[in-house]
A and B are shown apart, each in its own frame.
Chain A
């Protein structure tokens, strides 16, 4: 089993002016294989730092993090990333973006082409293989990014506000797509988001993080992602428990923001 286990992660950034910012403090959690985790929190609570540590772009200053049976120490193909702006290679076509990872491994060309077709099909981009990516809309670009990440068959998919830059309608469609892919592939997924609704709809588990120092504030186990597979997301949004949890989290984050503002003013 390749579970993600974080054990007392600490991250301190040295400031140029001296002193240090405690971005993460004693963050410990276990994410079981196949779980979908969404992470919420106000700005500066260390969400992205946590994600970058898991991806291997940052080394924690304390603690240990393991995926499966090996410790994470640098980026690797077992963890795929999807970014807010897609981070597509605009000099390549859609197909060449999607097969980038396989090309880097010098995989068999015919097989790669077949896989690309399959994945473009899954994300709903049939026939767009030869289109340059700069001609695509934002939603389509995120679909390419998703396919590019999934074709590598990673154990864990990390998404950093993947739907933040999309319009409301496209966003809903993409949310269903993420849930669909999660259920069909059984991948472990970790999504960072700013939107409470999105976090509730997508997350099987939900972490709310608090800032200064960045830490896990509260955890939830939620049924809505499971329901979303069959039910209309609009119905879920009227579900009593959904509304209740949403208000609770919103108040929580609101208070944290207030506290930060107060601290800033006091200083």
Chain B
């Protein structure tokens, strides 16, 4: 319902903005010069068009729109798929979908094998008597194979079986044409069908029990067709003459004794040839080749059934093609599912629903909320300020338990508890969750990169020694893709926060060093001269002239670093770890949970955009002089 309204509103927005855009173009007589960059300013109505195009495509190809407008189409298509599934074993034997007739295909393959066998025989050493016998066997193989295709040799009983199958298929087609087939509704079954969870509402994507009359017709037909197909597949070309020839052939090659004299390699080759003969013999013995005249009745019947079931589908075929594009519904053994874009492109409404469900901190993902808070005692937070070894410096010994198992405390043990943060204190709310973990890692890595990279970069911009000494160090590790470092860094620093933060620090550090160095070396000499003449000391020149002068480069560096860090982090989280957005996506990938994969993709995009917008705002606020000097 809601999806349907949104879909129609999107179409309206799409059409309206295109019409408005055309109207604006007609009225803009003053802006007549092609190539004028001012033309690219404004035009938010084209933004509306672009956004609604993307959303419309998403709604359409994820089948969300189709599901909203035709909620029962999925169930009906599932029944159609069931029928197609049961027809398929019979259908695949005939050249209905651009294939060869099954018998023709088998003959082609076997003739090819026999030709290869002839070649092999020529190239293998045998004495004359053996060679003659084997050549005769191979020719007999070929002739027996060809005999299967002969309509004169085929058993009339077999032809009768095909007639029977064809009659049954035609009967099914005629039945389907009758209104009211397969008879009155079984109320109990119908109630069960209605009680199934809806389309996409459970792990089974599509409810498989038929709900509509059309659905029941196809469901019933699929049951009948299943029986027919079972009977069809067991038919074998077994005329008495063929069987007699095959048995004689088997006796002949079984009685052939391989000459074991001579080179071991030659003997192996001889044995291989015999095995090859047996393999082809067994294929012929399957009896899957019939004369086309015998089987064509079934083919005719299939065409009739095809036509009938298509006409019975009626509008469903158009709904399938237009409202559920890019894929189809297929039936499995027990359930039906979406294939194609309907499968890998999750529906917007389902994705939103998944996000809302996971946003509930009690649900979360793998026991961790997406973004929530938890109460953390202050003692734990400040615990790291006092190193644990401080307690060890206090004279005396830690208390031991006494005979009654009591543990008394002394000053030393109290000091230890204080240093480790093990005491009662009020708790503060601290953000937590996958999203928060990712953000904290990026910002910590970035912060360390800035704090250490900017001073080094400026130092390198000012000192010949620093430039020469640190340049090889940075230029050696910087060109390595960050992810190439990940396995090593994560092994050394652990798969938890430390490793990832260090990896991000490496990324941010190199970028910040280079941008700060560029900024520092780009300082106009006259500004430095002026500062000297005004009595500034070295420290003051760095702090008051070089640093502010490098600010545009440094801020641009931060903006680049934040983007690269964000990308590296997600990949690092996919490699290892137990929290973070990348971790969520990786687990969802392993479970083929497309909704969560898309949710994480959208989330990552939005957070990346947010970071960039923040940086743009900071840049516009803090260096308004850039480009105006």
The interface of chain A, by Cβ under 8 A from chain B, is 55-57, 75-77, 79-81, 83-85, 87, 89-92, 100-101, 104-105, 132-135, 145, 148-149, 152, 154
In the assembled complex, the CB of B424 is this many whole angstroms from the nearest CB of chain A, namely 48
The 8 Å CB contact of A79, one of B526, B533, B540, B545, is: B533
Shortest CB–CB separation between residue B407 and chain A, in angstroms?
Answer: 59
A13 to chain B, nearest CB (A): 16
A134 touches B526 (CB 8 A): no
In the complex, what residues of B have CB within 8 A of residue A154's CB? 533
A101–B534 Cα gap in the complex (Å)?
Answer: 5
Q: In the bound complex, what is the Cα–Cα distance between A91 and B527 (angstroms)?
A: 12
* 16 residue pairs from A and B, CB less than 8 Å apart: A75-B533, A76-B535, A79-B533, A81-B529, A81-B533, A83-B530, A84-B526, A89-B548, A89-B549, A90-B625, A92-B548, A100-B534, A100-B544, A105-B535, A145-B530, A149-B533
Does B549 lie within 8 Å of A91, measured CB to CB?
Answer: yes
B536: interface (CB < 8 Å): yes
Q: Which of B524, B531, B540, B551 has the most CB of A within 10 A?
A: B531
A90 touches B629 (CB 8 A): yes
Please indicate the chain A residues that have their CB under 8 angstroms from the CB of B624 in the complex. 132, 134
**Is B623 positioned at the interface, with any CB of A under 8 Å from its CB?**
yes
| Alpha-carbon distance A134/B548, docked complex (angstroms) | 14
Contacts of A81 in B (CB 8 A): 529-530, 533
Once A57-B529, A87-B527, A134-B629 are accepted as A-B contacts, the answer to whether A104 and B536 lie under 8 Å apart by CB is yes
The residue on B at minimum CB distance from A96 is B544
User: Do the beta carbons of B526 and A100 come within 8 Å of each other?
Assistant: no
Chain B interface, >50% SS class: helix
Q: Which residues of A contact B532 (CB under 8 A)?
A: 56-57, 75
Does B628 sit within 8 A of A, measured CB to CB?
yes
* Contact residues of B between 516 and 571, Cβ < 8 Å to A: 524, 526-527, 529-537, 540, 544-545, 548-549, 551
Contacts of A100 in B (CB 8 A): 531, 534, 536, 544
Pairwise interchain contact A104-B535, C-beta atoms closer than 8 A: yes
Compute how far the CA of A260 lies from the CA of B21 in the bound complex, rounded to whole angstroms.
64
- Cβ contacts under 8 Å, A148 to chain B: 530, 534
With contacts A89-B548, A90-B625, A104-B540 taken as known, whether A77 is within 8 angstroms of B534 at the C-beta atoms is yes
**A77–B530 CA distance with the chains assembled, in angstroms:** 10
Chain A: CB-nearest residue to B534: A101
Please tell me which one of the listed residues B529, B537, B545 contacts residue A89 in the complex, with CB atoms under 8 A apart. Answer: B545
CB distance from A219 to the nearest CB of B (A): 26
Q: Which residues of A contact B530 (CB under 8 A)?
A: 81, 83, 87, 145, 148
CB pair A85–B533 under 8 Å, yes or no, is: no
B527, B535, B540, B628 pick with most chain A CB within 10 angstroms: B535
Shortest distance from the beta carbon of A144 to any chain B beta carbon, whole Å: 11
Q: Is the CB of B629 within 8 A of A75?
A: no
Question: Are A83 and B529 touching (Cβ within 8 A)?
Answer: yes
Query: How many interface residues does B have (CB within 8 Å)?
Result: 23
A132 to chain B, nearest CB (A): 7
Interface centre among B530, B545, B625, B629 (most CB of A within 10 A): B530
Contact of B526 among A80, A87, A92, A135 (CB under 8 A): A87
**Additional A-B contact list (4), CB under 8 Å, known A81-B533, A87-B530, A90-B628:** A77-B533, A83-B530, A89-B544, A91-B551
Cα-based distance from A131 to B526 in the complex (angstroms): 22
The answer for the CA separation of A251 and B545 in the assembled complex, in Å, is 43
User: In whole angstroms, how far apart are the Cα atoms of A90 and B625 in the complex?
Assistant: 6
Say whether B535 contacts A77, CB under 8 Å. yes
By the criterion CB–CB under 8 Å, are A83 and B526 in contact? yes
Contact present for B628 and A134 (CB under 8 Å)? yes
Q: Is the Cβ of A152 less than 8 Å from the Cβ of B534?
A: yes
Give A217 to B624 CA distance when docked, in angstroms. 47
- Nearest B residue (CB) for A151: B534
A81 CA to B534 CA, complexed, in Å? 8
Q: Report which of B529, B531, B536, B548 forms a contact with A91, defined as CB distance below 8 A.
A: B548
Query: Closest approach, in angstroms, between the C-beta of B528 and any C-beta of chain A?
Result: 9
- Top 9 closest pairs, chain A to chain B, by CB: A101-B534, A87-B526, A75-B532, A77-B535, A134-B625, A90-B625, A81-B533, A91-B548, A134-B628
User: Considering the chains assembled together, what is the distance between the CA atoms of A75 and B540 in angstroms?
Assistant: 15
With A91-B623, A91-B625, A132-B625 already in contact, the answer to whether A80 and B533 are too (CB < 8 A) is: yes
Contact A55 B549 (CB under 8 A): no
Measured between beta carbons, the chain B residues less than 8 angstroms from A77 are 533-535
Please, which residues of chain B bring their CB within 8 A of the CB of A105? 535
- Residue of B526, B531, B551 near A85 (CB, 8 A) is B526
Q: Which residues from 598 to 624 on chain B have a C-beta closer than 8 Å to any C-beta of chain A?
A: 623-624
**In the complex, chain A residues whose CB is within 8 Å of the CB of B526:** 83-85, 87
CB distance B533 to A89 under 8 Å? Answer: no
Q: A104–B531 Cα gap in the complex (Å)?
A: 9
Residues of A within 8 A of B551 (CB): 91
| CA of A85 to CA of B526, assembled, Å | 8
CA distance A91 to B530 in the complex (A): 15
**What CA separation (Å) do A77 and B533 show in the bound complex?**
5
Residue in A75, A76, A90, A101 whose beta carbon sits within 8 Å of that of B529 in the complex: A75
* Min CB gap A79→B, angstroms: 6
CA distance A5 to B207 in the complex (A): 102
Q: Mark B445-481, 1 if CB is under 8 A from A, else 0.
A: 0000000000000000000000000000000000000
CA–CA, A135 to B549, complex, Å?
17
A84 to B530, CA, bound (A): 12
- Collect the chain A residues with CB atoms within 8 Å of residue B534's CB: 77, 80, 100-101, 104, 148-149, 152
A104 x B529 contact (CB < 8 A): no
Is the beta-carbon distance between A55 and B533 smaller than 8 angstroms?
yes
- Bound: A57/B532 CA distance, A: 9
A74 vs B288: C-alpha distance when bound (angstroms): 104
In the bound assembly, the distance between CA atoms of A104 and B628 in angstroms comes to 26
CB distance from B497 to the nearest CB of A (A): 36
B618 to chain A, nearest CB (A): 15
Q: Kindly list chain B residues whose C-beta atoms are within 8 Å of the C-beta of A92.
A: 548
Tell me the complex Cα distance, A56–B540, Å: 18
CA distance A135 to B628 in the complex (A): 8
Q: CA A101 – CA B526 in complex, angstroms? A: 15
Closest A residue by C-beta to B551: A91
B625 to chain A, nearest CB (A): 4
- Which chain A residues border B537 with CB–CB below 8 Å? 104
Residues of A within 8 A of B531 (CB): 100
C-alpha gap A34/B545 in the complex (Å): 32
Question: Closest chain B residue to A55 by CB distance?
Answer: B533
Set of chain B residues within 8 Å of A89, measured between Cβ atoms: 527, 544-545, 548-549
In B287-318, the 8 Å CB interface with A consists of none
